[in-house]
Structure 1
Amino acid sequence: MKRSYLAAILLLAACQRPQPEAADPTRSGEATEPTSVSAAAAPTLARVAPILRGVWVKADYLADVARTKSPLKSARKLTDLVAFSVEPGRANGDSLLVDANYNNHEAATFQVVLRPGLQPTSLPTTWSDYAQLTNFYELAYRLSPTDTVLVLNKYNQQKRLLQSVSYSRIPGVPPSNSAPSDGLQYFVNRQLLAGTYTALDAKGNKKEVRFTPTGQVEGLDNFRQYYVATDFVVTVENNLDNLIFDIGTKRQQDYVYTISHDTVRLYNARVAEPDLLRGPLQYTLVRVR
């Protein structure tokens, strides 16, 4: 069934889903004039561009959602700078504009300054600590033969390290101003649902269903797209793990889901304001190995 607060759910989904942000060149990723990197910054950009390029998501969230199979249980990890996207072509002057996902609920931007930081492998940033404005952040990188990790280091005014947060690159996400949200969603889709299933509906009908990491679905009651809720900042009718098929269309259908080993169960979503409740089981999907 569709939720009674459809308008509210669509507003929530608008916060969760990447949205175009036209008419603002600093947010679109397309400058109105060719960018020009300063002579002093050019060597640093050339060195770090292949290291920083891509979409990066908090590593502890990725590990936690892989373990819990529940974005709701793992949502506590999605605080402060959750994800960001680096496209070296956006460098201008002595800095590089970076799109960011804040609290998995808001879009943001910050600058990476193209000069050495406190460490040989770190760069100053303009990311702010609003709880203590004298603190500052640097973006560092760690290289290994098999992986690259970015680390956001927070320092106090005396340059004492207070906190380090690691980020992992999400491959396969094209650059855009919505890439930080896209990257997080892509990982969740791939980790939880992407693949082929044998599905049994409530009437005993069997079918083959396929979910893609980019949010498409085939073989399930003519649905075309799916959206897994990952933003639980707003809890009204959003207190259980849930997904929405064909959001914003006449075909929209909302389900509560559980995942156990290789089995996904979809339940009708029921509402007892302000809560979302789990209704009757509608589909049992067993992953095809």
Structure 2
Amino acid sequence: MKYRWLLVVIATAFISCKSKTKAPVSDTVLRVKNTNTISGLVQQFKPFIQGIWVTSDYITDLSRTKSPYISSKKLAGAAALEINLDSAEKDSTVVGVSLNNHEGASFTLFFKPGHQPNSLKTNWPDYEVNSNFYELGYQIAGGDTTLLLYHYNKNNQVIDSVKYIRVLAKQKDNDLGYGITYITNKLLISGNYELTDTNGTTSNISFNNEGKVSGFTGYETYYVNTDFEAGPQNDLDQFSFNIYTKQQKDYLFKIKGDTLNIYNIDFSADSVHLKWGELKYKLVRRK
């Protein structure tokens, strides 16, 4: 899905995205010594915050459920962030936000030290309590870098934080949800399979992280739906081939162990809900 940039933050969507956990403690704190000049802060932060980030709650839950539909609840609020310090101007840069994996928004990240050892101030507002505010920072633990959106009260105390994992170094076009698509493909689909169709014919099929298919006659791309905001007929895990073309084919899918099962789609009598149809393709991961 392509997202439009919005300069006005959608408050109700963001307020729902709070991990309700205190800021994690890093076993390693890395901070470049500088005079807190703008150039010094850019130099410090760029290696650690540049890239496309997806909320870690979604990644963790998806690894468990193998179902984008079930795990979509973890994409409420600020689901993904795009940070590109190459485009920084003067004392700030614009951070792209995927809201609920459905709409685009943005906020300003200022090159001004925050309250944490490695955090910067933002203009991301809290509409529930106007005196509350947010900062964006990074932490390094066990050699892994995570991004954190800290939520503070008026007494400068951390209320909660949202944790993000970097999934890509750079954005693809203006699709703020691409990072979610990419990590979903990588965790669930990407790999080499042996396909058995309904006629019992077998062939070797490959899917990559970017949504490309090889070895599957008639199909060049695949798409796993991760946006379940709009309905009807959007309440099961959907898998499409050749999306946005005249050759598009839509199915449902389930993952069980090392097997990807792709089903035809049926519909409820009132055409509101999706239903499982007959098994169309059975793909087993090759060792």
Q: Judge same fold: TM > 0.5, yes or no.
A: yes
Q: Which moved more, 1:243-252 or 1:128-137?
A: 128-137
Displacement of 1:71 in angstroms is: 0.5
Contact 2:4 2:103 in 1 (8 A): no
Q: In angstroms, what is the RMSD of aligned CA positions?
A: 2.0
CA distance in 1, matches of 2:141, 2:173: 28
Q: Does 2:88 correspond to 1:104?
A: no
Q: 1:163 to 1:20 in 2, by over 3 A?
A: closer
CA distance in 2, matches of 1:176, 1:42: 27
Within-5 A mapping of 1:169-248 = 169-171=166-168, 173-176=169-172, 178=174, 180-248=176-244
Query: Pick from 241, 247, 252: which aligns with 2:248?
Result: 252
Q: What TM-score, normalized by structure 1, do the two folds share?
A: 0.84
Displacement of 1:50 in angstroms is: 1.0
Gaps of 5+ in 1: 1-16, 25-38
Displacement of 1:177 in angstroms is: 5.4
Contact 1:84 1:179 in 2 (8 A): no
CA distance in 2, matches of 1:204, 1:186: 31
Query: Pick from 122, 125, 128: which aligns with 1:131?
Result: 128
Q: 1:246 to 1:217 in 2, by over 3 A?
A: same
CA distance in 2, matches of 1:176, 1:125: 24
Contact 2:224 2:239 in 1 (8 A): yes
CA distance in 1, matches of 2:231, 2:206: 29
Give the percent of matched residue pairs that are identical in Structure 1 and Structure 2. Answer: 36
Report what 1:71 is aligned to.
68
Q: 1:83 to 1:235 in 2, by over 3 A?
A: same
Report what 1:118 is aligned to.
115
Contact 2:3 2:176 in 1 (8 A): no
Q: What TM-score, normalized by structure 2, do the two folds share?
A: 0.84
Contact 1:57 1:180 in 2 (8 A): no
Displacement of 1:179 in angstroms is: 5.6
Q: 1:244 to 1:130 in 2, by over 3 A?
A: farther
CA distance in 2, matches of 1:66, 1:215: 18
CA distance in 2, matches of 1:261, 1:86: 35
Residues 4-29 of structure 1 deviation map (CA, whole Å, 9 limit, x = unaligned): xxxxxxxxxxxxx23587xx9xxxxx
CA distance in 2, matches of 1:220, 1:276: 26
Q: Does 2:255 correspond to 1:264?
A: no
